Structure 1
Amino acid sequence: MAAIPAALRDALSTRLGAPVTADEPVYGGDINQAARIEAGGASYFVKWRADAPPAMFPAEAQGLRLLRAPGVIRVPDVIAQGDADGACPAYLVLEWIEIGGGRGGRDGAMEALGEGLARLHRVEADEHGLDHDNFIGRLPQPNSPMMHWGAFYRDRRIGAQVEIARRLGRLPARRADLLARLMARLPDLLDDEISPPSLLHGDLWGGNYLIDADGAPVLIDPAVYYGHREMDLAMTELFGGFSTRFYDAYHAVYPIDPGYEDRRALYQLYYILAHLNLFGEGYGGRVDSIAARYAGRG
């Protein structure tokens, strides 16, 4: 982890209206560099990336604002966002979140996270998608709205990742056949009447929430859109990091629909396809097994 570039320090000093007097590298995930900075007596979190797609940080900023607006769970305030300019990389500045545990401990934070997510999912829209595209990790995530969830999941989620896999050479013949058959079945497999489009975090794995010094959960690094709320729940179960208290608290506020267990792996397929495209063939076998489960007879 490196200190912030000089050009970025200058840009931040101008944008924040005070000189950056200190910076400390911190973990910024798999694709960005990050630091804690001090300016004007306040601390901020800044992340940057020299080769960030032009829309990446603006889309993340908008996603954070959308999650923050309902006021049902803590989300970092967006302080500033800037595009790449000469030697200065694109960047995003957020309020600094002091991490702790609080008197309620992890169990209390998990309950608050489950309840907060359920209340976030009560924020609904008329269509699936969003008025702008964004990213899942560093991969583009198309969000052009559609009325029918099965078609949206086929075209904007599985289909989009399949095309990326094709371009990357990660779509051998058997995998391509399985996914094509699965996609043909998706509008029938996914019932549009189960629940309305919910406001989703979109990438809710265990690394994308924090617990602040007061013991409150904080959502970070979203891939926001309106869609089936089971997408977020399926992602929480893919890599772990969420306790029984989280799920109990969620279900107490917004009970899950019948049949979720049968749909869970189908929704996890999107994230595993994204991991295949991001990290390679180590995820290929899992893609194939899930696709085979839902593709039907060839």
Structure 2
Amino acid sequence: MEGILKEALGCDRVRKMGGRGGGGCISEGQSYVLDEKRTVFVKKNNNEDARAMFTGEMEGLKSISLTDTVRVPQPIKVFDSGGGLYVIIMEHVEMLPLHKYNEELGTKLAQLHLHNINKIKTSIKTSGRVQSSDSAQSELVDKFGFSIPTSCGLIPMPNDWETDWIEFYARHRLQPQIDRIIKNYNNRKLVELWSNLQLKMSQYFKDTEQIFPSLLHGDLWAGNTAETANGPVMFDPAVLYGHHEFDLSISKMFSGFSSSFYEAYHKLIPISPGFDTRLKLYQLFHYLNHWNHFGSSYEQQSLSIMKQLI
């Protein structure tokens, strides 16, 4: 990898940093020192979907960074190093497990979610309409989706722009996961439950205010957050513009966030009627995604949530 990095980044010396690498359960990661001056973090993966995964991650990190709300590692480059090995290079950040900055992360997550919403509301107030663009880098986005596919784990998720959130979520989040499970497991009970659930989805939103697109992390469990000496940081995003509540779903599936995180978040974005039911609907995506990644140990949890919803 040292030789690959020299060529990719145009440096003379590359030294592997000591300590344990990272990258999660999907990719292999390691930090390096370049020319004894700067440090980078490198993830590599030889799966055929890795290029799409890393490209989506890079664009997601850029988009979150541009909001100037919560810190993320600055992405540098995505490339094919040869032989089907894909690589993403980003800023190395000295991180510790999230502990004392739980409350600040809750505040910053809410600020991230409000960043685009506030622009939409300002546009409506000043001009009477939304002046929009279908670009993740634009001043304002009034549709649901993202400029390119992003991956939750290794599975690329389509992000075709939609004007309706419920349609986007059903078509571009749940349906691809369900299609993959049906292909691999031929689970007929899932087909039956999904047919019934689609007919009821709109009911879970009848008491909500109009949903405006928020820039979301997309895979916000505790393992994708940390803290530095100066504040919280998040990484490994699966970015999309969507309903802000979606980001809270996986955070409640696995332990790791304190009550102060949620209290700080809801000070800025209060809980809406029907929140608990929609949370189950959004958790369904993650259970299905885990079923596709890790096998049928997540089958019963996925089917159980579907039964509760219908």
1:33 to 9, 28, 32: 28
Matches within 5 A, 1:111-190: 111-124=103-116, 125-169=141-185, 171-190=186-205
The structure 2 residue matched to 1:81, chosen from 72, 78, 82, is: 78
- Distance (whole Å) between structure 2 residues aligned to residue 263 and residue 60 of structure 1: 26
Equivalent residue, structure 2, for 1:57 = 54
Aligned residue pairs: how many? 281
Q: Do structure 1's residue 93 and structure 2's residue 89 form an aligned pair? A: yes
SS in 2 for 1:123: helix
- 1:211 is aligned to 227
Question: How high is the TM-score relative to the length of structure 1?
Answer: 0.89
Contact kept, 8 Å, 1:129 with 1:144, in 2: the verdict is yes
Q: CA RMSD in A?
A: 1.8
- Offset at residue 68 of structure 1 (A): 0.7
Map of 1:270 onto structure 2: 285
By how many angstroms is 1:253 displaced? Answer: 1.8
**1:166-198 deviations in Å (ceiling 9; x for gaps):** 1111x4222220122112322343347443111
Name the SS of the counterpart of 1:79 in structure 2. Answer: strand
Hey, what's the Cα distance between the residues in 2 that align with 1:149 and 1:266? Answer: 13
Q: Is the 8 A contact 1:120 1:199 kept in 2?
A: yes
**Identity, % of aligned positions:** 33
The CA distance in 2 between the partners of 1:148 and 1:51, in whole Å, is 33
Structure 2: gaps (5+ residues): 117-140
Structure 2 letter corresponding to 1:78 = P
Equivalent position amino acid for 1:9 in 2:
E
Is the contact between residue 128 and residue 149 of structure 1 (CA under 8 Å) also seen in structure 2? yes
Amino acid corresponding to residue 307 of structure 2 in structure 1: A
Q: Which moved more, 1:36-45 or 1:51-60?
A: 51-60
TM-score normalised to structure 2 length: 0.86
**One-letter code of the match for 1:94?**
M
Contact 2:158 2:172 in 1 (8 A): yes
Is the CA contact (8 Å cut-off) linking 2:57 and 2:236 kept in structure 1?
yes
1:198 pairs with 2:214 = yes
1:147-172 CA distance string (max 9 Å, x none): 11111111111111100101111x42
- Once residues 275 and 99 of structure 1 are traced to their aligned partners in structure 2, the CA distance between those partners, rounded to angstroms, is 26
Distance 2:252 2:240 in 1: 19
Query: CA shift at 1:17, angstroms?
Result: 2.4
Secondary structure in 1 matching 2:67: coil
The 3-state SS of whatever aligns with 1:245 is: helix
